[in-house]
Amino acid sequence: MAEAEEALALWDIDRTLLYVGEIDRQVYRETFTEVVGRTPERLPARGTGVTMPLAIRSLLLHNGVPALDVPQLLPRMIELLPQCRAAHEEELREQGVLMPSAVLALKAVHEQTHLVATVVTGNLKPNALLKLAAFGLDAFLDTEIGGYSSDDEHRPALVGVAQRRAQAKLGAAFTRSNTVVIGDSLEDVCTGIEGGASVIGIASGKTTARELASAGADVVLDSLENVRQLLHEIRTVMNSSAKR
């Protein structure tokens, strides 16, 4: 890939850029209780990277909600979830933490004139924007062209969503040859491979570097702390993908 050609960097949010602890699970608990009328006994697993609609469906089924009732309850929970999340905005700022060098890494990618940075995330868009804004990360991302689980519950499809939005806004075509996903989970790796992007795995979550590599990540970094290496690997995977 030529240095001046525009490319798309698709960032994951949770455990790649920031970590919100138990707040997400608390929001799931409150939303379930409001819609179903009782407290859930089992909550979604941490750090899987699955989209919120799929996590909600699993939450309902694993807590004894009849499958026939799920199509009715799922949209109600999706609608209510951002409202519950907004009610915890102050806790998000107090309890949430940035991953090491997340701001430096985002800023460095943002400053590359040929790189367009946005997100592809399992969060619903309102939830994603709340998380990013709480830590000022939205300043380094074009959130208008991101892919969110509000768009599609199948996460690999969100790569195409972001690519089409970027093309509509910027007038450049974005394909596997000039798109990279940066994330910490096996779901992030699958998103890139199936969705049409190279993948840089960041072993900052629950998934090990070996697991990320075995799943097919093009490159795996231990963290975002070596910003120069991150930029180098982005260029490398783009060049390699463009030659295929």
What are 19-67's pLDDT values in tens digits? 998 899 999 999 999 999 999 999 988 777 899 999 999 999 999 999 9
pLDDT in tens, 86-108: 999 899 989 899 999 999 999 99
Which CATH entry fits the domain spanning 7-20+97-243: 3.40.50.2000, 3.40.50.1000, 3.30.450.40, 3.20.10.10?
A: 3.40.50.1000
pLDDT, position 21: 86
pTM: 0.93
**What is the C-alpha separation between 108 and 226, in angstroms, rounded?**
11
Tokens of residue 112, six digits? 């590359």
- The answer to whether the CB of 120 falls within 8 A of the CB of 23 is no
pLDDT, position 214: 98
pLDDT, position 243: 67
Domain ranges of the chain: 7-20+97-243, 23-94
pLDDT, position 45: 81
Residues of the chain under the 50 pLDDT cut = 1-4
- The answer to whether the CB of 207 falls within 8 A of the CB of 186 is yes
* Residue 186 CB burial class (10 angstroms; 0-12, 13-18, ≥19): buried
**Cβ atoms within 10 Å, residue 243:** 8
Instruction: Look up tokens 């690519």; give the residue.
Output: 163
